[in-house]
């Protein structure tokens, strides 16, 4: 009977003593592809398939070996002795590996056929196909990393800016886990004190200012929650919809912000008939810019569908850039476009500021459009010359960060799951403070503190349930 991980009596969740295998690089054409195995039989399985170049010698850990993967006798993928691919083989011995089990990596050519052929031979030789995230799950279950660090692995893979990458690396390094464990350890001390008072009421315990201890824990959670609001923005980014009537320069503005000719621009109104999305790195914050079709009345079916998509994009956006042609007065179509930005954080982008205007100065231009979207800041730009673009980026950044100065220290909290758990823990500590103030019996106070401890334990994995692990690791790719 192998070693089993159980979440409740009689229920088998995962086996840690079988050997799993997966293609760990994207399948397709490429220079290199990697098939990875981990488990007690990883080396034995590969040795049945690997034929080293030159004289055969013992495979030592932490070395690279050149040779070929060949089909052993009796295997069905190809003829016995047929070479599938020439490879470089590396072997890492437990416990000094990613999973704390033996790990073997086969570096082959990055094509679909050789990688699938090697994978098939490994499966036929006794390995099991890994599930999504199972390599990292084994690293967690074997104690190499905690749950917050495991989630950081996925954040590193999905990072879209240097800032989000650095935040994920800090989390993988354990900085967030250390802070969480510090708060949790303090609460465990309080809980131990309360349980001693409950279990041994006849003993005199030294007095303890539990209210001050809870206050320190609350302040640490407040600091983490403040970081989370900014960190999640850096991690997930924001959607910015560029809306306006036809021919005001929406696509030109998109190209100008991206510093590349991404959208087709012509003098003909209605060139853009569908939404176009591109990501802009704004000081470490990924912004998904959505160029939309011009808003206006039309009998063209395709244009009408484009307008509906524009409305949907504006509704889903976190910020709306309402682009207008500042060289002419507002039109009925401008008013229709302005309605898409109502109730959203928005900026009135007075484009074509380089052109002669019907008003003598910019103040007049601003007043013509400001009344259509009261409260929204107005900014003159020229997508043609680039004038005002830096000011527009600065204003966007100010709106996103609520006027905060971007700190050189990236926030540690960037995961919505962690933020929700910190909120839950903080809510229980608030209830605990009320119990101290009234005061209520120690057993009632202990319940809220215990719940806060459990919430923090879900961040690092000490109290994580099987369902939680399934949800988290299901979002990983197979082979990681």
Task: Encode pLDDT of 402-448 as tens digits.
Answer: 644 344 456 788 899 999 999 999 999 999 999 988 888 888 899 99
Q: Which CATH number belongs to the domain containing residue 249 in this structure?
A: 3.40.50.300
Q: Which domain holds residue 256?
A: 242-400
Q: Which CATH number belongs to the domain containing residue 140 in this structure?
A: 3.30.1360.120
- Main-chain dihedrals φ then ψ at residue 333, nearest 5 degrees: -65, -35
Closest CA to 383 of 438, 435, 326: 326
In tens, the pLDDT along 416-428 reads 999 999 999 999 9
Residue 406's pLDDT is 44
Q: What total number of domains does the chain contain?
A: 3
- Read off the pTM: 0.77
Calculate ∠ Cα 286-171-231, nearest 5°: 35
Flag whether 409 is in a domain. no
Range with the lowest mean pLDDT among 1-15, 40-54, 133-147, 165-179?
Answer: 1-15
Q: Are 323 and 312 in contact (CB under 8 A)?
A: no
Same domain, 140 and 156: no
Flag whether 313 is in a domain. yes
Domain final position from 400, 435, 452: 400
Flag whether 82 is in a domain. yes
Same domain, 369 and 390: yes
Report long-range pairs for 65-70 (Cβ below 8 Å, ≥24 apart). 65/89, 65/90, 69/106, 69/108, 69/117, 69/118, 69/121
The token pair at 126 is 């006794």
**CA R_g for the chain:** 30
Closest CA to 342 of 371, 369, 374: 374
Flag whether 410 is in a domain. no
């Amino acid at each position: 009977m192998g070693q089993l991980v159980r979440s409740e009596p009689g229920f088998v969740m995962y086996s840690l003593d079988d050997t799993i295998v997966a293609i760990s690089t994207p399948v397709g054409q490429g220079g290199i592809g990697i098939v990875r195995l981990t488990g007690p039989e990883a080396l034995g399985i590969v040795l049945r398939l690997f034929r080293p170049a030159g004289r055969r010698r013992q495979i030592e850990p932490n070395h690279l070996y050149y040779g070929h993967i060949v089909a052993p006798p009796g295997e069905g993928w190809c003829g016995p002795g047929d070479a599938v691919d020439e490879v470089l083989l590396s072997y890492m011995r437990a416990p000094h590996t990613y999973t704390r089990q033996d790990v073997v990596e086969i570096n082959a050519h990055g094509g679909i056929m050789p990688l699938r052929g090697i994978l098939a031979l490994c499966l036929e030789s006794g390995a099991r196909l890994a599930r999504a995230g199972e390599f990292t799950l084994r690293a967690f279950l074997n104690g190499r990393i905690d749950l917050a660090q495991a989630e950081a692995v996925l954040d590193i893979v999905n990072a879209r800016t240097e800032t989000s990458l650095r935040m994920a690396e800090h989390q993988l390094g354990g900085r967030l886990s250390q802070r969480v464990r510090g708060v949790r350890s303090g609460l465990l001390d309080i809980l131990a004190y309360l349980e001693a008072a409950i279990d041994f009421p006849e003993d005199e315990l030294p007095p303890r200012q539990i209210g001050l201890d809870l206050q320190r824990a609350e302040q640490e959670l407040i600091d983490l929650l403040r970081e989370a609001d900014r960190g999640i923005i850096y991690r997930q980014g924001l959607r910015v919809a560029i809306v306006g009537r036809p021919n005001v320069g929406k696509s030109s503005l998109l190209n100008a912000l991206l510093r590349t000719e991404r959208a087709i621009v012509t003098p003909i109104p209605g060139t853009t008939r569908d939404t176009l999305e591109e990501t802009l790195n704004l000081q470490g914050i990924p912004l998904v810019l959505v160029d939309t079709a011009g808003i206006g009345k039309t009998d063209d079916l395709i244009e009408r569908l484009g307008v509906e998509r524009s409305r949907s994009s504006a509704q889903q956006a976190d910020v709306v850039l309402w682009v207008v042609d500042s060289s002419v007065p507002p039109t009925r179509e401008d008013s229709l476009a302005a309605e898409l930005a109502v109730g959203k954080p928005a900026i009135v982008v007075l484009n074509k500021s380089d052109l002669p205007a019907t008003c003598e100065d910019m103040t007049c231009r601003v007043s013509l459009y400001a009344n259509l979207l009261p409260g929204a800041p107005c900014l003159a730009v020229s997508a043609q010359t680039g004038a005002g673009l830096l000011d527009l980026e600065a204003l966007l950044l100010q709106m996103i960060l609520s006027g905060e100065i971007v700190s050189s220290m990236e926030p540690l909290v960037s995961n919505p799951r962690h933020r929700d758990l910190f909120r839950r823990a903080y809510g229980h500590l608030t209830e605990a403070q009320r119990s101290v103030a009234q005061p209520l019996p120690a057993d009632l106070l202990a319940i809220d503190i215990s719940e806060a401890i459990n919430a923090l334990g879900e961040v690092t994995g000490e109290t994580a349930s099987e369902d939680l692990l399934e949800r988290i690791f299901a979002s990983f790719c197979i082979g990681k």
